[in-house]
Amino acid sequence: MDLDHEALSPATRAVALGRPPREPGAPVSESVTFTSTYLAGGSVNYARVGNPTWTALEDVIGGLEGGEALVLASGLAAIDAVLTLVPPGGRVVAPGHAYNGTTGLLREYTAEGRLEVVALDISDTAAVVEALDSLQAGRDLLYIESPTNPMMEVADIPVLVREARARGILTAVDNTFATPLLQTPLADGADLVVHSATKYLSGHSDVLMGAVVTPPTDRGRELRQRILTRRTLHGAIPGPMEVWIVLRGIRTLSVRLERASANAAELVRRLADHPGVTRVRYPGFGAMIAVEVRGGADGADRVCEAVRLWTHSTSLGGVESQLERRRAQPLEAETVPESLLRLSVGIEDVEDLWRDLAQGLDRA
């Protein structure tokens, strides 16, 4: 009898899915398939359409999110594929503090007159629901990111998705920060989940990759087909080697996230009492923290320069702890405080992390 994947917990799915068929002598791990084309007569004729290494990773990500996944070249390629589901002239309700590449892309589409964007505080449920009333059924999109990057605002996903669905509005959720181990928006009725697999899913800061996941319903399959067509015709495809690296990384997602989250929770307890810190933003789960520090932008920059173990770098979700002053990024929203440091907590020993961070914060 075959293994019932539905009965497995997410931690097990991350390990067990996306494996070659269990036959005597078969490899246990999926290999990297380097080919640009296939012998005629099969279901996939060319490598812009499909690749067995992609399929393995798609099985894992889809299995974790409770849907069907498509891998794309980067998180932004995945987000762009979702935004192009909205026809020209359509409206998107989105967080004012979404990932700065997302807000940058929305700004571009607004400037070109392709989309209208209603940017708001995604944690203000009443305001988002009110904005939904200005959207047109079957055309517009509610785009959620939760927790938001870098302000750590948390959306009430079940309520927002329910309200959007009741109005015939498509919903997409960027699940990069929480990962499917902490939140599964498709189970709440969302139509699309997007990931920057560059972050926690791969987990080692060595590759860029994105994914779009749709529910296993008629409506979900129709959306999936449109994303697949977009991937095939616009060509934002990932390389098989990169996909294999993510496949290798996602196997340990559960232990990495567990350790990083425990580290983050402990650091949050200590950060609150550090005199260099004026505010801690932490949603109570996950391994991302934002802190505001004394001394404004200069104080925050001094912390970035002073750390020796933490890496001062953009990006997040790797095994190594990273920090960055977000407003140093040109695209970052002006409502993000100048002194805000985004901390991506890794899997190192928490005492080492604290010692290094605390001596940095002493200079804020």
Ligand X SMILES: *Cc1c(COP(=O)(O)O)cnc(C)c1O
**Residue 200 sits in the site that holds ligand X (CB under 6 A):** no
**Which candidate in 199, 231, 281, 325 is catalytic?**
199
Q: Is the dihedral of CA 61, 67, 70, 74 positive or negative?
A: negative
74 binds ligand X (CB under 6 A): yes
- Residue 210 touching ligand X (CB under 6 A): yes
Between 74 and 261, name the residue whose CB sits nearer to ligand X.
74
199 is catalytic: yes
151 exposed, middle or buried (CB, 10 Å; 0-12, 13-18, 19+)?
A: buried
Scan residues 129-148 and list those touching ligand X (CB under 6 A). 145
Residue 60 vs 71, nearer CB to ligand X? 71
* Joined tokens for residue 274: 């550090």
Query: CA 303, CA 184: separation in Å to the nearest integer?
Result: 35
Q: Minimum distance from CB of 87 to ligand X (Å)?
A: 23
Stretch that binds ligand X, among 116-124, 192-200, 268-276, 342-350 (CB under 6 A): 192-200
Does 76 bind ligand X (CB under 6 A)? Our answer is: yes
Span interacting with ligand X, options 70-78, 212-220, 266-274, 354-362, rule CB under 6 A:
70-78
**Nearest residue to 48 via CA among 60, 36, 59, 32:** 36
What is the Cβ-side half-sphere exposure of residue 140, based on CA atoms within 13 angstroms?
23
- Is the distance from CB of 317 to CB of 278 less than 8 angstroms? no
Residue 108 φ then ψ, to 5°: -60, -50
Name the closest residue to ligand X (Cβ).
75
Provide the minimum distance between the beta carbon of 309 and ligand X in the complex, in angstroms, as a whole number. Answer: 22
Pick the piece of the chain touching ligand X (CB under 6 A) from 2-10, 53-61, 94-102, 120-128: 94-102
Q: 141-145 and 90-95 as β-strands: parallel, antiparallel, unpaired?
A: parallel
Q: Is 59 in the site for ligand X (CB under 6 A)?
A: no
Minimum separation from the CB atom of position 276 to ligand X (A):
25
Distance of CA 181 to CAs 4, 222, 261, Å? 19, 26, 12
- The reply to whether 349 belongs to the active site is no
Q: Measured over all CA atoms, what is the biggest interatomic distance in the chain, rounded to whole angstroms?
A: 68
Does 310 contact ligand X by CB under 6 A? no
Query: Which amino acid, one-letter code, is at 172?
Result: A
- Binding mask 19-58 toward ligand X (x if CB under 6 A, else -) reads ----------------------------------------
3-state secondary structure 269-330: HHHCCCCCEEEEECCCCCCEEEEEECCHHHHHHHHHHHCCCCEECCCCCCCCCEEEEHHHCC
**Closer to ligand X at the Cβ: 14 or 77?**
77
* Residues belonging to the chain: 364
The reply on whether position 323 binds ligand X by CB under 6 A is: no
Number of residues that bind ligand X (CB under 6 A): 16
Whether 174 is a known active-site residue: answer yes
Is 151 among the residues that bind ligand X (CB under 6 A)? no
Cα 312 from chain centre: 21
Smallest gap from Cβ 307 to ligand X, in A, equals 21
* Cβ closest to ligand X, residue 144 vs residue 291: 144
Rule CB under 6 A: is residue 326 a binding residue for ligand X?
no
For 286, residues 6+ apart whose C-beta sits below 8 A from its C-beta are 147, 177, 178, 179, 182, 257, 261, 264
Known catalytic residues are 48, 99, 174, 199
Question: Where does this chain bind ligand X (CB under 6 A)?
Answer: 74-76, 99, 101-102, 145, 149, 174, 176-177, 196, 198-199, 208, 210
